[in-house]
């Protein structure tokens, strides 16, 4: 029996994890600058949390959740997204009582969706997201968008398109909903079975349907833009002004509706416009969710956030040919020849490491030549060679791999020497 990674998942090997660490560091730095703090919630939650928040009519809830019953007969679901868990935690931990509002949080971690695997679409993927909960100031909408754009810029991406829209408030949504039902009802038989259920429950979802996207009635559907009331229009304008002031380019797309039910007012997506990017170009999606905390039993706490997957960020970096910072090289490779030398070498290795010096040695008893080759492959700056003669004199032969110069120095001076050389570089 041979085993493989489950479909839609992947192993990240050391050459890849290095890139992930680079990107994760950018994420942490940007969040620090914007004063967002990390939150970590469990990988699974009560199934009902997602049903109520993400929405019964969404693809995520209907087709994509990994739901299971535990031994205590509870229905649990591997989280398909991060917003609902964060808002659950916000309510449960009474963060609405914190003196500084909004509470600004970020997370990175695996999400799970049973989807068809393709480039940029996995069943386990890692999302980085932020949530600012407890304010309905349009300036925070612009801040959240600016943060997402900054992450991409810091990662070296320049071929980006930001698209924004307003979904309005409940009043506009209801007026628009009535218009959509009138528009689709006479011909609803021409649509897929999901859309038939969506018609009454949430006709906005029909516009986002992947099966019926080419149906002419989708293009001619009444636009939400015409149903925005005065307050929603003013809010949307304010967001745009703040974005403009920050020098952030954007396009307004009245057809942008997001895949989750809980959004209102601001919705946005960031796309890659780079060639060599496949069918999927959306890197990031987000929006405002003013009723979400109440929906799950909390007080009114308007919020806004976004999520992006690290997988798609890395694909975009690859498409734009962004090069990664080089992995840190090895400071010292210890070459010990013979049993006595091995003991001295192992001890030196330990001392180097406890002084914060990156060091390694051979553990397969290879010849000098093979060990030198290893030192080259590992891009060691120095090799410390110890043979019987060196053991007898309590010295090591320290060779610089850059200029190939070497000198014998006393064993207990090696650390000092390496630290000094490190400073000179």
The set of residues, in sequence order, having a beta carbon less than 8 Å from that of 391 and lying 6+ positions away, is: 338, 340, 341, 344
Closest CA to 333 of 403, 267, 385: 385
**Is the CB of 82 or the CB of 345 nearer to ligand ATP?**
82
Cα 394 to Cα 392: distance, rounded to the nearest angstrom:
6
**Is the CB of 218 or the CB of 284 nearer to ligand ATP?**
284
Q: Does 163 bind ligand ATP (CB under 6 A)?
A: no
CA distances from 162 to 43, 235, 243 (A): 30, 18, 11
Cα 406 to Cα 390: distance, rounded to the nearest angstrom:
14
Shortest separation between residue 270's beta carbon and ligand ATP, angstroms: 8
Find how far residue 350's CA is from the centre of its chain. 36
Helices (H) and strands (E) in the chain, counts: 15, 16
Residue 337: both structure tokens together: 């020849």
Q: Does 27 bind ligand ATP (CB under 6 A)?
A: no
With CB under 6 A as the contact rule, the residue among 57, 272, 274, 309 that binds ligand ATP is 309
* Contact mark string toward ligand ATP, 310..339, x via CB under 6 A: -xx---------------------------
Number of residues lying near ligand ATP (CB under 6 A): 19
The owner of tokens 């309905």 is: 136
Residue 251: both structure tokens together: 């396009």
Shortest separation between residue 10's beta carbon and ligand ATP, angstroms: 11
With 0-12 / 13-18 / 19 or more C-beta atoms within 10 angstroms meaning exposed / middle / buried, residue 270 is buried
Cα 119 to Cα 126: distance, rounded to the nearest angstrom:
15
Cα 176 to Cα 403: distance, rounded to the nearest angstrom:
73
**Is the CB of 17 or the CB of 406 nearer to ligand ATP?**
17
Q: Does 161 bind ligand ATP (CB under 6 A)?
A: no
With CB under 6 A as the contact rule, the residue among 91, 284, 301, 357 that binds ligand ATP is 284
Pairing of β 282-288 and β 303-309: antiparallel
Question: Phi then psi for 44, rounded to 5 degrees?
Answer: -120, 155
| 185 close to 287: Cβ distance less than 8 angstroms | no
With CB under 6 A as the contact rule, the residue among 87, 160, 256, 308 that binds ligand ATP is 308
* Stretch in the footprint of ligand ATP (CB under 6 A) among 116-124, 132-140, 153-161, 232-240: 116-124
Q: Does 307 bind ligand ATP (CB under 6 A)?
A: yes
∠ CA 258-24-353, nearest 5°, is 165
CA distances from 288 to 76, 96, 174, 363 (A): 26, 17, 17, 56
With CB under 6 A as the contact rule, the residue among 125, 152, 236, 333 that binds ligand ATP is 125
- Residue 272's DSSP bridge partners are 160
**Is the CB of 312 or the CB of 342 nearer to ligand ATP?**
312
Shortest separation between residue 339's beta carbon and ligand ATP, angstroms: 53
With CB under 6 A as the contact rule, the residue among 43, 181, 225, 280 that binds ligand ATP is 280
With CB under 6 A as the contact rule, the residue among 81, 143, 169, 390 that binds ligand ATP is 81
* Stretch in the footprint of ligand ATP (CB under 6 A) among 167-175, 231-239, 283-291, 328-336: 283-291
**Is the CB of 301 or the CB of 315 nearer to ligand ATP?**
315
Q: Does 127 bind ligand ATP (CB under 6 A)?
A: yes
Closest CA to 128 of 104, 145, 111: 111
Q: Contacts with ligand ATP in 190-229 (CB under 6 A)? A: none
Q: Does 285 bind ligand ATP (CB under 6 A)?
A: yes
User: Helix crossing, 138-154 with 310-319: angle to 10°?
Assistant: 50
Q: Does 257 bind ligand ATP (CB under 6 A)?
A: no
**Is the CB of 24 or the CB of 115 nearer to ligand ATP?**
115
* Stretch in the footprint of ligand ATP (CB under 6 A) among 114-122, 142-150, 344-352, 392-400: 114-122
Q: Does 121 bind ligand ATP (CB under 6 A)?
A: yes
* Stretch in the footprint of ligand ATP (CB under 6 A) among 21-29, 301-309, 331-339, 400-408: 301-309
Length of the chain: 425
**Is the CB of 81 or the CB of 143 nearer to ligand ATP?**
81
The residue ranges that bind ligand ATP (CB under 6 A) are 81, 113, 115, 120-122, 125, 127, 259, 280, 282-285, 307-309, 311-312
């Amino acid at each position: 029996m041979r085993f493989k990674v489950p479909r839609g998942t992947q192993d990240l090997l050391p050459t890849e994890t290095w890139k992930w660490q680079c990107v994760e560091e950018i994420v942490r730095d940007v969040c620090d600058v914007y004063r967002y703090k990390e939150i970590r919630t469990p990988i699974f939650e009560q199934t009902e949390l997602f049903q109520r928040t993400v929405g019964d009519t969404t693809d995520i809830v209907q087709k994509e959740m990994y739901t299971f019953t535990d031994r205590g007969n509870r229905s649990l679901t591997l989280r398909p997204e991060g917003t609902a868990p964060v808002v659950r935690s916000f309510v449960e931990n009474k963060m609405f009582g914190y003196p500084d509002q909004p509470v600004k949080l970020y997370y990175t971690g695996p999400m799970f969706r049973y989807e068809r695997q393709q480039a940029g679409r996995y069943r386990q993927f890692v999302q980085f997201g932020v949530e600012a909960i407890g304010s309905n100031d349009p300036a925070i909408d612009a801040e959240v968008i600016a943060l997402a754009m900054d992450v991409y810029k810091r990662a070296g991406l320049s071929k980006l398109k930001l698209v924004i829209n307003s979904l309005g408030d409940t009043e506009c949504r209801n007026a628009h909903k009535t218009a959509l039902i009138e528009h689709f009802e006479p011909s609803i038989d021409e649509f897929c079975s999901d859309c038939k259920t969506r018609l009454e429950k949430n006709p906005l979802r029909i516009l986002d349907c992947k099966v019926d996207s080419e149906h002419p009635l989708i293009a001619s559907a009444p636009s939400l833009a015409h149903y925005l009331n005065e307050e929603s229009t003013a809010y949307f304008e304010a967001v745009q002004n703040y974005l403009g002031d920050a020098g952030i380019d954007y396009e307004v797309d009245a057809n942008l509706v997001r895949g989750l039910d809980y959004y209102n007012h601001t919705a946005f997506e960031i796309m890659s416009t780079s060639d060599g990017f496949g069918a999927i170009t959306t890197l990031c999606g987000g929006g405002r969710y003013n009723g979400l905390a109440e929906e799950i039993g909390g007080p009114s706490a308007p919020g806004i956030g976004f999520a992006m997957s690290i997988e798609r960020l890395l694909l975009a970096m690859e498409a734009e040919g962004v090069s990664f910072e080089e992995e840190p090289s090895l400071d010292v490779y210890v070459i010990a020849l013979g049993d006595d030398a091995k003991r001295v070498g192992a001890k030196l290795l330990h001392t180097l490491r406890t002084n914060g010096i990156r060091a390694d040695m051979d553990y397969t008893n290879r010849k000098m030549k093979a060990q030198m080759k290893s030192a080259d492959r590992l891009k060691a700056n120095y090799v410390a060679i110890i043979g019987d003669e060196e053991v007898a004199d309590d010295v090591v032969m320290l060779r610089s791999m850059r200029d190939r110069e070497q000198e014998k120095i006393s064993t207990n001076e090696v650390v000092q020497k390496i630290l000094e050389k490190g400073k000179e570089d």
